[in-house]
Structure 1
Amino acid sequence: MTVSLEQLRRCHVAVDLGAARTRVYIKGLGLVVDEPSAAAVNTRTGSLIAVGALAEQMTGRTPDYIRVVRPVSGGTVVDIEMAQRMLRQLLGEKLRRQLRRKPRLRAAASTPHDSDPLAQRAAVETLVGLGARRVELVDTLIAAAVGCGLPVEQPTATMIMVCGAATTQIAVLSLGSIVTAVRIPIGGDAIDHAVIEHLRQYHELMLPSQSVRPLQLALSGIGPTPHGPTVTEIHGRDVATGLARSVQVDTDSVRQALHRPLTAVLDGLGKVLRGCPPDLVADLADCGIMMVGGSALLPGLDQMLRDATGMPVHIAERPDVCSVLGLGAMLDGKIRPMVLDPLGC
């Protein structure tokens, strides 16, 4: 792990800053914030108009002087000041007062695997701006594995796939550490973009920003597998006329559009398996792959991985909040490392 469990037990708050959603866990209170990572700003005055779900609803519906921004991209803070302002509003005055009572506030934050020092520094400065005296960084892969109940501290292999909005992270864990891992710049947003480009190119249809996600496009039951209805009706705006229009879309063609970005995910999965020791691969044949993250719920994605690898594939019970729940379990001291007695000489 990036830091010891003893250091994490001293933390008071854990933050998971994701490209899609921001989640905050407070020791003793549990998960207190689970909102979209979005903020609406008045560009004339610089004032903050809305954050979270309300700001996300404003996307594509605001006048010129109101801009909806996302201070987090790919799990990395790209606008530290805006991220701090967004977090303050999401926490609310009551929770901020409660945190200010801590004489030496300690915070924990999850960071993407193999993130560069600048990204780590941005995460630290964001929480320091909220009053944290010390910030501990935990790899998202380990936090998510703990959150979904994998025995990461045992000498057996566990494989986890974190399907985020901007990236997909895949790793094999053993003895509380990452054996081999890869981060792929393909996530739920890339899948959304593939659907948008397909409908624009072949049907001359533009979709509203709030209707992009395949799970919200009546594509449930389609996914990457050949099941479900053969035709789906989709509403959008005609590219040429600008008028509202509905089209009947062949689900086979949509399925092919979804397959293209997912091919990179399969390549990354093969790369991780090739870099894994044979003994650990044998363990994976029994326990399989655990999928977490919001994009893990894409219909048919788990079956696609089963067909490609021949291994069992499982989706966590609460895949979208596994990372922050894992951080919370470390803060609450629920994770006990395996103690190895030193051998006598």
Structure 2
Amino acid sequence: MTVSLEQLRRCHFAVDLGAARTRVYVRGVGLVVDQPSVAAVNTRTGALIAVGEFAEQMTGRTPSYIRVVRPVSGGTVVDIEMAQRMLRHLIGDRTRRTLRRKPRLRAAACTPHDADPLAQRATIETLVGLGARRVELVDTLIAAAVGCGLPVERPEATMIMVCGAAATQVAVLSLGSIVTAERIPVGGEAVDRAIVQHLRHEHALVLPSQSVRPLHVALSGTGLTPDGPVSAEIHGRDVATGLARTVRIDTAAVREAIQTPLTAVLDGIGKVLRECPPDLVADLVDRGIMMVGGSALLPGLDQMVRQATGIPVRIADQPDMCAVQGLGDMLEGRIEPLVLNPLAA
């Protein structure tokens, strides 16, 4: 790990700033925030109007003087001031006052694999603005692996696939560290865009922003596999007239449109396996790949990965909660480190 378990046990709260949702865990209390990473701002006065669920419901429905923003993109803070304001309102005054009473308040936060120094600095400054005197950064891959119960501290290979909104991260872990990893800039949002573009080009239909995610109506059941439903009715707006219209789409064509972004994900998994030592690959044949993240629930994605790699694939019980749960387990001291004592000369 980039930070020791002993340092994490001294932290008072942990934050998982994701492109889709923000989650906050307070030591001794548990999960206190699980809300969309969205804020609505009055551009005339600069006042913050709403955050979280209510702000997300306002997307695409606001007058011109109200702007809905997302201060986090791809797990990286892109607007520090707005991220701080959003977090203050999500955490609430009572919890913030409790945290500020802590002497030398410490925080922990997830960062994407291979995040550049500027991205790490933005995360640190965001939490420092909330009163943290020290911020410990944990790789999202490590936190998610701990949260879904993988034995990351043992000398055995475990493979995890974090399916986020903006990116997919794949890694092989052993002895509490990352052996080989790859970050693919393709996530649930790329799948959404592929579906939207397909419907616009083939059916001249525009979907409401709240109805895109990611077309589970058409891909229900067996999802991305050919055994799924043959067709489905979709409601949207006609490109030419602007009027509401309902069309029946061929789900096979939708699956084909989705294949393009997901091919990059499969290529990334193949690259990780090729760079992994043979002994660890042999472990993976038995243990398989663990999928976590909100986009892991895309119907049929696990079957696609299984067919492409020939390795068993499992989805965590609560895939979208694994990263923050892993941070919480490390804060509470539930993870015992592997102690490697040096041999006497």
With structure 2 as the length reference, what TM-score do the two structures score?
A: 0.99
Match of 1:251 in 2: 251
Instruction: Give the equivalent residue in structure 2 for 1:49.
Output: 49
Residue correspondences, number:
345
The residue identity in structure 1 corresponding to 2:200 is R
Q: Which residue of 1 aligns with 2:235?
A: 235
How do 1:216-295 and structure 2 match up within 5 A?
216-295=216-295
Runs (5+) with no aligned partner, structure 1 = none
AA partner of residue 297 (structure 1): L
Provide the rounded CA distance (Å) in 2 between the counterparts of 1:342 and 1:122: 38
**Counterpart of 1:16 in 2: which secondary structure?**
strand
Q: Do 2:218 and 2:231's aligned partners in 1 also have CA atoms closer than 8 Å?
A: no
Kindly provide the amino acid, as one letter, of the partner of residue 83 in structure 2. A
1:96 is aligned to 96
Give the conservation status (yes or no) of the 8 Å contact 2:218–2:251. Answer: no
Q: How many angstroms apart in 2 are the aligned matches of 1:137 and 1:227?
A: 43
- 2:22 matches 1:22: yes
Q: How far has the Cα of 1:340 moved from its partner?
A: 1.9
8 Å Cα contact 1:215/1:298 also seen in 2: no
Q: Percent identity?
A: 79
State the one-letter code of the partner of 2:100.
R
Alpha-carbon distance between aligned partners in 1 of 2:44 and 2:220, rounded to the nearest angstrom:
42
- Deviation, structure 1 residue 344: 1.9
The corresponding residue for 2:39 is 39
Aligned match of 2:123: 123
In structure 1, C-alpha distance between the alignment counterparts of 2:15 and 2:8, rounded to whole Å: 12
Q: Could you tell me how far apart the structure 2 residues matched to 1:114 and 1:340 are?
A: 26
Q: Is the 8 A contact 1:289 1:313 kept in 2?
A: yes
Report the alpha carbon displacement of residue 219 of structure 1 after superposing the two structures with TM.
2.5
**Displacement of 1:191:** 0.1
2:50 is paired with a residue whose SS is strand
Partner-residue secondary structure (3-state), 1:233: strand
Q: What CA distance in whole angstroms lies between the structure 1 residues aligned with 2:283 and 2:272?
A: 14
Q: Deviations over 1:293-317 (max 9, x none)?
A: 0000000000011111111000001
Match of 2:148 in 1: 148
Q: Is the 8 A contact 1:231 1:249 kept in 2?
A: yes
- Give a deviation string over 1:83-111, Cα, whole Å, max 9, x none: 00000000011111111111210000000
CA RMSD of aligned residues (A): 0.8
In the TM superposition, what is the alpha-carbon distance from 1:221 to its structure 2 partner?
2.0
Residue equivalent to 2:296? 296
**TM-superposed deviation, 1:218:** 4.2
Deviations 1:122-181 (A, max 9, x none): 000000000000000000000000000000000000000000000000000000000000
TM-score computed with the length of structure 1 as normaliser: 0.99
